[in-house]
Structure 1
Amino acid sequence: MTKARPLSLITGASAGIGAAFARALAARGHDLVLTARRTDRLEALAVELHDLHRVNTTVLTNDLADPHGVEQLCTALGERGLQVDWLINNAGYGVPGRFDQSDWSVHADFLRVLVTAPTELAWRLVRGMRERRYGRIVNVASLAGHVPGSAGHTLYAASKAYMIKFSQSLALENLGLDVNVCALCPGFTYSEFHDVTGTRALVSKMPSFMWQRAEAVVLEGIDAVERGEAVHVTGRFNRTVKGLFKLMPDRMALKMSAKQSKRYRAQD
């Protein structure tokens, strides 16, 4: 049964979709645990949401690229007696450029943040959700996980495809327990993502109808996980893109991906 004040843990909560999830869930009366690497931003957001909605906010600065990051985060939760009802696995970023141009340590950190850490968090927290017979897990994936890979950001689509399949399986394992799991798959979203990867100039040329605001993505995600959708692609345009690529022969889809990815990927 749902608690009067569910507790939501949001990774990557300092900006973008993560901060939008924090604001939306606080508005619904959720207490929050906010985690990311930037303490100052987390603390500012925590104060904002406490003052606005009178919810309890806990800041736990954490680097999920650290192999022990998830264990340390869950230890901190246990020490504070915090039981997570909603897990928003949102932390993520991209590594632009050709695969061999980055050191392996860069790719290893990326895989820990986008694949290993969210998987481990789900493993550590879903047991309590099952015991309490209530929980929600939103794994922020991407439309990129549904379409052919592209040159540049070599591991990004692969990591998101993994999160989609993982979410589907975890959702099936928890049917009938009121523990819902959803892979949320946005397309282009207004956030700092492209500033960090250095592709802002490229993507700014994309037409406005291809973009969504983080707040709209989050509202769709909350509704989808509450309905029990295992996978949800946000926005009519993105759902159309997914459908078109699903119908195309693989060779044609790869050719189109190769052509179009030059518009938004740093490939060299």
Structure 2
Amino acid sequence: MSSKPVVKAFWDEATGSWQYVFHDPDTMDGAIIDPVWNYDPQAAATTTRSMGEILAYVEETGIRVAYILDTHPHADHFSAGPLLKERLGAPTGIGDHVVKVQKLWQEIYNLPDLPTDGSQWDHLFADGEVFHVGNIPVRVMFSPGHTLASITYVAGDAAFVHDTLMMPDSGTSRADFPGGSSADLYRSIMAILALPDETRVFVGHDYAPDGREARCESTVAEQKALNIHVKNNVSEADYRAVRDKRDATLPLPKLMLAALQINIRGGRKPDPEDNGRAYLKIPLDYFEPRRS
């Protein structure tokens, strides 16, 4: 049996987001992680370009998709989980702390009828839970800090670390969203860096700094040695000082107020109104103005 899944990465340049398909080469069972439902904010239009790329790859390689997984409710893109479920029939999943994110944003958006029990997904994964994709064990690590609900999927020798670590030259992800915490993020990162050095680390985003090509993969050893925010056994206090200072300069993600409305519904639009069309709400003056 293999403990080394085959990993295929798909980059959405518009949002800097990485999507993944991994599979067990012995059984050809696989899973999709963090699929993007493309959104044009100027036109308020959705398309399925990224999903089409994933479906074409799955069909060409003969992968049987066992799970469609999200690491957290994303603030920078819509999840294509339900759309992929319609095509592939595989169950959707996310971490069980998603209910906290639902309750938080239910209040922000004033959505009293929104179910906040996680029922929009087929399975809510608990910290430490283990499931299998083919013969490959997948362990769930609760990894809060970027959001209240973030999890890491450790599939064999591959860790899908979502928005915790970034590529070493970019450091780590922000912790200033509602429910975020640089203290929690530090502890989550330290738990990831306690994995074996040879563990492959697949990140959730890359913004290709300094014009280099977009990258998605490193190792635990490379992160410990080279990551600009956590190398040299950085202390929690020093890490938090750097992270919090940096976060105070960042504008909010341009798609956040649209994306969270979709993603707390598991990747679905709001119910259509009497004209058959769905609408998004914007909470005016809830957030303070920010300057980059």
Q: Say whether the fold is shared (TM-score over 0.5).
A: no
Structure with greater contact order relative to length (CA < 8 Å, sep ≥ 6): 1
More strand by share: 2
Q: TM-score, normalised by structure 1?
A: 0.41
